[in-house]
Structure 1
Amino acid sequence: MDMVLIGGLWLSGSVWDGVADELASLGHRPVPVTLPGQGDGAVSATLDDQRTAVLAAVDGADGGPVVVGHSAACTLAWLAADARPDRVARTVLIGGFPSADGQPYADFFPVTDGVMPFPGWAPFEGADTADLDEQARRAIADAAIPVPEGVARGVVRLTDERRFDVPVTLVCPEFSPAQAREWIDAGELPELARAKHLDLIDLDSGHWPMVSRPVELARLLAACA
């Protein structure tokens, strides 16, 4: 099965290399997406540009693909389900949750000179980074690409209620399935609360399992397929 892989903020498609190798060995076709503004050299990309790139990968897949979003890009995976509810076989959301209609995509950190740079590791100390050694931290930070303001502050638009029919798997790395269920029941994750087919799966890792546990993550994704 084809698997469209979408990295979160500051990440290019190359962050999936280890996962992609393992998926290929398991008989799947990985399709890592290099998002506009996050690896193609563009600095004026918008959220709509990134959505268009994801949809191009979905439309170019062989059959109905699994669409995998990481962190903030869980919203991009959800936008794909909204735009292609009859084509996306499943969304897999890793360490993040889809924003609702009308919300900003990822306005989390300061914007400087039109981009949102990687803020360093201080905001992520704790469970997010507990499984990253210094070499892994350095590699992520060195490769981090400032996210264009038009992406980070773009407004999410969802239009098709059939997105709730698309099966969803929420991979819980730095938080537990029990915590995620509490957030859903409390009304904090309204899009997931309305999903008709939602599975919660634990993964003992930090926020970047494609770096810290690529083989385990790939096998989990294969099982989702």
Structure 2
Amino acid sequence: MDVILIPGFWLDASSWNEVTPALEAAGHRVHPVTLPGLESAEAPRAGIGLADHIEAVVRLVDGLDGPVALVGHSGGGAVAQGVADRRPDRIARVVYVDAAPIGEGDCINDELHASGHDIPFPDWSVFEEADLADLDDGLRRRFRERAVPHPAAAASDPMRLGDERRLDVPTTIVCCEFSSETVAEWIAAGVPFVREVAAHRDVDYVDLPTGHWPQFTRPAELGRVLVDALPR
């Protein structure tokens, strides 16, 4: 199956390098993407918003034959969700890696500090302790070396959804910072930021305890989780 891998903030296609071998060994055709504005530190980011990121992946889906699986990490999960909303008949499964679909009108994260059209990679103190679990000094150094400023509008633009068939697309939530048990408690309590998850009609949960970046801290395990989650 064709599998599109969508990175989270500040990352490009290479962030999936240690995850893709397991998928390829299982016979999948992998398509890690670099979203517009993330090509390099010097890439223009003015005018690039969430819709542009979604449209870039929609074009990739349209260029492939047959059903496609989407994997979205962190903010890349919202991009995957937007693609599933626009092409629900083409998407075999969406896997959210330490992420979840967001509601109509919500944004990915409008609290990150922007400098003009860019959101530079912040100081580690911005992140919660749970985010940084297993991300040792060497991984942090390599992450910072590869990080690219994220387009500011892509973080703050509201999500626009239009096709309720997205709610029938099979979905997997890979829980890293927070356990599946915690997510279930949030859903039962009606916590607003999981209302879109609660509306989905076919959702599986997989626990992969680590920090927010399992593609760096537990890449082999993440690869196996994805292989198990994706249609054969």
Give the TM-score range, shorter chain.
over 0.9
In 1, the alpha carbon distance for the partners of 2:127 and 2:64 equals 34
In 1, the alpha carbon distance for the partners of 2:153 and 2:128 equals 27
In 1, the alpha carbon distance for the partners of 2:221 and 2:53 equals 27
Change (3 A) 1:223 1:61: farther
> What's the secondary structure of 1:67's corresponding residue?
strand
The answer to whether residue 206 in structure 2 is matched with residue 204 in structure 1 is no
In 1, the alpha carbon distance for the partners of 2:54 and 2:152 equals 15
CA-based RMSD of the aligned residues comes to: 1.3
Runs of 4+ more than 4 Å apart: none
2:181 corresponds to which of 144, 160, 178: 178
Q: Structure 2: give runs of 5+ residues left out of the alignment.
A: none
Q: Which residue of the partner structure matches residue 191 of structure 1?
A: 196
CA displacement, residues 79-127 of structure 1 (integer Å, 9 cap, x when unaligned)? 1111111110010001112221112232131111221111121122422
Equivalent position amino acid for 2:195 in 1: P
2:76 corresponds to which of 62, 73, 76: 73
Give me the TM-score of the superposition, normalised by structure 2: 0.92
Conserved 8 A contact 1:36-1:49:
yes
Aligned length: 225
Give me the TM-score of the superposition, normalised by structure 1: 0.95
The Cα shift of 1:49 comes to 1.1
Q: Which residue of the partner structure matches residue 106 of structure 1?
A: 109
- Aligned identity (percent) is 44
Conserved 8 A contact 2:55-2:83:
no
> What's the secondary structure of 2:56's corresponding residue?
helix
Matches within 5 A, 1:105-144: 105-144=108-147
Equivalent position amino acid for 1:153 in 2: S
In 1, the alpha carbon distance for the partners of 2:108 and 2:210 equals 24
Conserved 8 A contact 1:173-1:203:
yes
